Structure 1
Amino acid sequence: MSRSHEARPLITDVNPLSPISEAYRTLRTNLQYAEVDRPLRLLVVTSASPREGKTTTVNNLAVAYAQTGKSVLLVDADLRRPTAHHTFQTSNRCGLTHILTGQAKVADAVQNTSINGLKLLSSGSIPPNPSELLGSDKMDRLLAELRESYDIVLIDTPPVLAVSDAQVVAARCDGVLLVVNAKSVKRRYVIKAKEALEFVHARVLGVALNQVPSSEANPYYEYSQEVRS
């Protein structure tokens, strides 16, 4: 099995007592409160623009959920720049795209990770038509199967304003968490991303702010349930 050597340690795993790990647990708790009106089984984590920390957030959030004893699946649906197989040091020879193109079954593609209770469905081969695959009937059937198989499924997608992939997936899931880099992203881009998600009737649960100056916020991640225009 081919494995990447680009290990990317997750702070919730290597240092679970750190303030940042506690911030991820707080984020997890806030999201669990969103389940009151409607079960949260399929959660999309995305951002408005690249380099806002969405992948770091979804990876650590997946670990935080697994640490509660839940059965968790992390899906790398960023079919343009996938990284989960690097982070978790797994193979990417068989993944999401292989399921969606009929080359593999779910049982063949889902892999164990070193985190107890956390499994990974990597991206698989990068396809020429990511949006079409993610919007296919096969994707609908896959999400229905995963909903019944795990306590929670966390899905990493490309940024909302870059391509349509996040909208396509979010419209099929129970909720969306929008990750925002407070230092670099302009407010209008965040509002535009939220409006794009709402246009496809995605359920925006809230915003996770990262890189918030320590003088303004503690912990590292803050959670808000509104983005006002």
Structure 2
Amino acid sequence: MYQQQEAVYYALFAEVTEAKSLLEQTALLTRGRPLYGKILKCIDSYIKNDLKMLRVSPTLLLSRRPDLDPLESIMYYTSVGTPSAVYDTVRTLRQARATRLGALQRKLPSAHMFLLWVLAGIELVSFPLLGAGTQTIGGYNILTVEGVLFGVMTFGIVLTLRTIGELWEGRGGVYNVDGVLETMVTGLEEELDERRREAEESEGSIQIQIPDVPERRK
């Protein structure tokens, strides 16, 4: 499970890096063109509806196909006849995405965790039963020792199972990547917002001049 968490971090770093490269490449190729705003909108859709959707099952993200795939739209906008250099970046980005989805996929079924909790419950219940009657041998002081041992054992079992559960879940808990991913994409989202505002301002500054219609002579 720890290796799975490590693979998730490596995949996220690779995917965010490729997303930044894609943003820079598309800005160099299409900046100042009418398609610039559409491409930035596609990148924003990919970040919000795919990269940051950690709580959605990876199998659902991989199986569903939106009506308009943002990465496919970017390749369409930047390709004329033959695929441009953006094609390689999009392909690498999809490979990093596949690695992330594979690392986030649960490797153990829910029944595995249920059986671990059942085993822990049986062990905790059997401890007082096995220790019953020991006060006749060691006196009532032995019950204090058994109580302390029972408390320590309960704390250790619950802590261990909770840690395993957090590693098994992978997101939404203590051992999660939600906060790390939010920090990683903060700079990317800020740069994307600035570029989108710049694109909107440049589009708004472009005015189509229509020549005046000459008046008819009477």
The two structures have a TM-score, normalised by structure 2, of 0.23
Structure with the larger strand share:
1
Greater relative contact order (Cα < 8 A, sep 6+) = 2
Structure with greater proportional helix content = 2
TM-score by length of 1: 0.22
